Structure 1
């Protein structure tokens, strides 16, 4: 009797001390989420209420989570292998359906959104389960746990799609809570237990690069929103000032994240003895805060472009100041993980942003945005100078 043919591996080939590159297909896959992020920001602009903000926040968490889990999977699976490539295209199609449904997820397209989301989450986990079965026993057991958790949350997603209004928000909030608790609880399942982070076998440099690229996506969406809004406006001095303010704000966000944090994070996780643990905290949870801050900042930029003068209402104050505050909070926590300390520049930036709340009732939207942008510039320059002093010392 002949022995069975060996099963061809769909995993990436790894060599010691080498960096697994991000493939062109992964970059292509990300384009779907450019559209998704744009849809979320437009949704919030049309629903500038507390309820609209909560709903937009939930969509940010959902989109980030489905993208993040896919990035974890492509850390192990090789997109250059034909079965993986074809499956990535299938995920892209589901992601496009999801993105087109974001704006009406709490309306008429709730079931379409929930179904597309669950196809991506559960379908991707089942495919990975099949792919690693004969090649990585620890990952195989891990994806049994992950599939169980995502299937449980799927019940809430689909059930919530048949509810309406606040009831849908509560049920979907439960679904998000289940998914976000999964990694923290090591995807514990009765009879299987949990997974240790040192069993996740993450290629750290690849993970950090993928997350940095999503930051680029979010910043790129800000550029698109700013440019598209300005292109349809009368060219007056307030609008020009708002346009320049938005650009400086976006550039400052890029500078604060990429000037040192991104490379330092890549080096830290690549040298870590437990890259899975760092990837979970710094690149899965904390980056969600950073991305949310960028998206909220984009909403603020578009709001100021459309209404540069006049009175700032409470929701306007929240959007204009909340975006930079969320971003600084996220980068503060991220840099704490990678450096072991809280950057004083970021702490001061958060304090100054908070202080602007007291000036907001007396400022126009443009002035408030300019002050918030000034804080971001100050943080960027302060951190640059402190890093230069540290290196010279």
Structure 2
């Protein structure tokens, strides 16, 4: 494939240019300022979802909170994922491309504004923002179909599939409350089936290093939201007299957790699996599997807020119930990173075995007097095992 220039060669911005696929082997393919703005706006929605999850957990509505969080987070994640993979294949950076992307951002911010009402069962504003996001994506695919005959079949399939599912999302607003969850699951499956159907004829090009960087950047931003949530919780908890020592200890444990999660995610280059096995199944499983990494990382922030409220005596939950909001998402994060980046057949057995074992021990820590501190020690120990086990090994990057 001939590499297509992604930027004007002169200092004058081109208003419009044909949308051709980027070279999947292009050197120095990095995230653009527009992609970074997209991430920052979408992380607002992540923060809102985590905040609502915290409120539900603190009020003792764990099941409702977790289900609502999973549904809301799907809307956020799916909008982000589709833009990121499209931008890896097509990125003209002309005026229409920027305007369509800004329209997607507007839809994402509308989703962020609708998070609280969605947790209460009112999805009208959520669906409006989501459909706006997705229809803007249809415009991008139609541009790609018009400009490049080689990707036209896939682009038309994307446009038709996305449009059809959006009609169903609008109809979702009339679904009875008791049937909302199963219908939501069906529609989410249909959404995820669109790329599989579209790419089955002839796949679009995407850049493995660029995709891995995009996912890594979003992971960083979500972990930043965890630190922000924990910091705000400690700040509020400090207003309660007599808890300063406990709060400092809990804050330290929370930081160790976040630092360990960062280390374990980025210790192995994210693009390695995409390069070694460049199949549709690999890319889809890797891309879709990150839902659990992103969602679990965001949920850790809500869990740490619950832990702070428990330690300051403002939360009327038992110790185990107050620990699960942190230990469960940490365990899910470890298992997800293990499956996507490490693998049970990894040649380094201490790492291959260490991730699932640590996940089980983190869950078991929920039944101890200091679950957050023990979970932090366990994840830090896994980092130490990874460092020692891979000492002297060259990492491909």
How would you bin the TM-score normalised by the shorter chain? 0.7 to 0.9
Partner-residue secondary structure (3-state), 2:381:
helix
Partner of 1:60: 73
Partner of 2:11: none
Partner of 1:345: 351
Partner-residue secondary structure (3-state), 1:20:
coil
Deviations 1:303-324 (CA, angstroms, capped at 9, x unpaired): 1122226764554343221111
Partner of 2:13: none
Partner-residue secondary structure (3-state), 2:311:
coil
The equivalent position to 1:73 in structure 2, one of 64, 68, 86, is: 86
Partner of 2:384: 381
Partner of 2:249: 241
Change over 3 Å in CA distance of 1:151–1:327 after alignment to 2: same
Alignment RMSD, CA only?
Answer: 2.7
* In 2, Cα distance between equivalents of 1:346 and 1:27: 33
Higher deviation after alignment, 208-217 or 328-337:
328-337
The equivalent position to 1:333 in structure 2, one of 339, 345, 352, is: 339
* In 2, Cα distance between equivalents of 1:15 and 1:69: 17
Q: Note if 1:44 corresponds to 2:50.
A: no
* In 1, Cα distance between equivalents of 2:38 and 2:151: 23
Q: Note if 1:127 corresponds to 2:133.
A: no
Higher deviation after alignment, 368-377 or 304-313:
304-313
Partner of 1:26: 35
How far off is 1:338 after superposition? 11
Change over 3 Å in CA distance of 1:158–1:38 after alignment to 2: same
The equivalent position to 1:98 in structure 2, one of 107, 111, 115, is: 111
How many residues of Structure 1 are paired with residues of Structure 2 in the alignment? 369
Partner of 1:191: none
Partner of 2:12: none
Higher deviation after alignment, 34-43 or 383-392:
383-392
* In 1, Cα distance between equivalents of 2:220 and 2:207: 21
* In 1, Cα distance between equivalents of 2:364 and 2:105: 45
How far off is 1:216 after superposition? 0.9
2:361–2:378: 8 Å Cα contact kept in structure 1?
A: no
* TM-score, normalization by structure 1: 0.85
Q: Note if 1:35 corresponds to 2:41.
A: no
* In 1, Cα distance between equivalents of 2:324 and 2:356: 14
* In 2, Cα distance between equivalents of 1:338 and 1:355: 18
Deviations 1:263-287 (CA, angstroms, capped at 9, x unpaired): x223553x447365533221x1121
Deviations 1:360-383 (CA, angstroms, capped at 9, x unpaired): 3452xxx10111111111111111
The equivalent position to 1:226 in structure 2, one of 225, 230, 253, is: 230
- Give unpaired runs (5+ residues) of structure 2: 1-15
* In 1, Cα distance between equivalents of 2:233 and 2:224: 14
Q: Note if 1:278 corresponds to 2:291.
A: no
Partner of 2:296: 293
1:111–1:162: 8 Å Cα contact kept in structure 2?
A: no
Change over 3 Å in CA distance of 1:265–1:313 after alignment to 2: same
The equivalent position to 2:329 in structure 1, one of 303, 315, 323, is: 323
* TM-score, normalization by structure 2: 0.84
Partner-residue secondary structure (3-state), 2:147:
coil
How far off is 1:214 after superposition? 0.6
Partner-residue secondary structure (3-state), 2:205:
coil
The equivalent position to 2:194 in structure 1, one of 177, 182, 185, is: 182
Partner of 1:3: none
Partner-residue secondary structure (3-state), 1:298:
helix
Partner-residue secondary structure (3-state), 2:31:
coil
How far off is 1:246 after superposition? 0.9
Q: Note if 1:116 corresponds to 2:129.
A: yes
Partner of 2:200: 195
- Give unpaired runs (5+ residues) of structure 1: 1-6, 189-193
* In 1, Cα distance between equivalents of 2:365 and 2:25: 55
Higher deviation after alignment, 247-256 or 141-150:
141-150
1:248–1:373: 8 Å Cα contact kept in structure 2?
A: yes
